Structure 1
Amino acid sequence: MATLGVAASAMAVAYTQAVGKTATLEPEGTMKRLLVGLFLCASVVGAGEREAVLGFWHTPPDAKNGAAIVEIRQKGEGLSGRIVWLEKPVYPPDHPAAGKPKVDRENPDPNLRTRPVMGLEILTGFRWDGKRWVDGEIYDPVSGNTYRATITLEGQDRLRLRGYVGIPLLGRTEVWTR
């Protein structure tokens, strides 16, 4: 309750500075002003949480392909994520395309199999539900498969990405870090 009193006092000071009139905390109208102020503060915090996912994220490495960095950006009201760095950007010496940049060769669409993996958009269609990013898709260029996905932040430096087929129960979670 002391926190609400501090918030109300801070709002009264801000009101006084902005309007030039002294704000009184009289019983009538106080609750309404307090609720409006708290709603505005919560809206700002919510917007910050929504945008906190934006930036560069390191994927966990795997033995064959190494790690990657994905840049997550705002795209309209949703999110987009593209690969901006690969630990192993070229095919290994034992591969038929040895030394050449990796391409999206497993894509189910033959017309897309020559596009470079570097710069490839792999996250699309996410929408904010007030707590996390949902209803998105993640494309896996290693397998050529696309999965439904959700993104949840765990603090500022950890992102949980859940890819699944059908329902989230049938999926896999990766933790990406900044």
Structure 2
Amino acid sequence: MLRKTSLFVVLFIFSCQVFAQKKDDILGKWLNPTGEGQIEIYRRGDKFFGKLAWIKEPNDEKGKPKTDEKNPTESLRNKPVLGLEILKNFIFDDGKWIDGTIYDPKSGKTYSCKLTLKDHNLLHVRGFIGVSLIGRTEVFKRVK
């Protein structure tokens, strides 16, 4: 009986380690749910950031690069949307990336955010105001 219990404990610990997230598992390119853009997540020091690496329609109707026209800071409204850093300052803690922010260039608003990998290819992005119970989650897919 003791051997069966020991075997169960060893298998349980091994299975937890297999599913445990590592800090850099989030790195790479991710496609948003609508297919309109890809975010490249990278590391700077101990924090994680993400920029718009590709957008479906990078130019406006005049053929000029789309700019961050809704930005609340007037001096930043001429900055191109492509390459814009929209995920900022995430730290890795207990299998999640927390304490960061996500910027929505369509509205010009910034939200608190946390990121969770559900498997190696699905990233749950939860934007919220105040507490994470009041917010919205979108699922991004890893670009291969």
TM-score after normalising by structure 1: 0.69
Which of 18, 30, 43 is the equivalent residue of 1:57?
A: 30
Q: In structure 2, what residue type is equivalent to 1:165?
A: I
| Higher CA-based Rg | 1
Per-residue deviation, residues 135-158 of structure 1 (Å, max 9, x unmatched): 100011111000000000010000
Q: In structure 1, what residue type is equivalent to 2:30?
A: W
Per-residue deviation, residues 29-69 of structure 1 (Å, max 9, x unmatched): xxxxxxxxx8xxx6x985x62211100000122xxxx6101
Aligned to 1:2: 7
Q: Where does the alignment leave 5 or more consecutive residues of structure 1 unmatched?
A: 7-37, 93-97
Aligned to 2:105: 141
Shift of 1:76: 1.1
Query: Hey, which of these two has a bigger chunk of strand by percent?
Result: 2
Residues 1-178 of structure 1: pairs in structure 2 closer than 5 A: 1-2=6-7, 49-61=22-34, 67-92=36-61, 98-178=62-142
* Aligned equivalents of 2:8, 2:139: Cα separation in 1: 35
Aligned to 2:3: none
Identity of aligned residues (%): 41
Query: Hey, which of these two has a bigger chunk of helix by percent?
Result: 1
* Aligned equivalents of 1:148, 1:83: Cα separation in 2: 18
Q: Where does the alignment leave 5 or more consecutive residues of structure 2 unmatched?
A: 1-5
TM-score after normalising by structure 2: 0.84
Would the alpha carbon gap of residues 159 and 5 (structure 1) be closer, same or farther in structure 2, given more than 3 Å must change?
closer
Paired residue total: 134
Q: In structure 2, what residue type is equivalent to 1:160?
A: H
The alignment yields a C-alpha RMSD, in angstroms, of: 2.2
Higher RCO (C-alpha under 8 Å, 6+ residues apart): 2
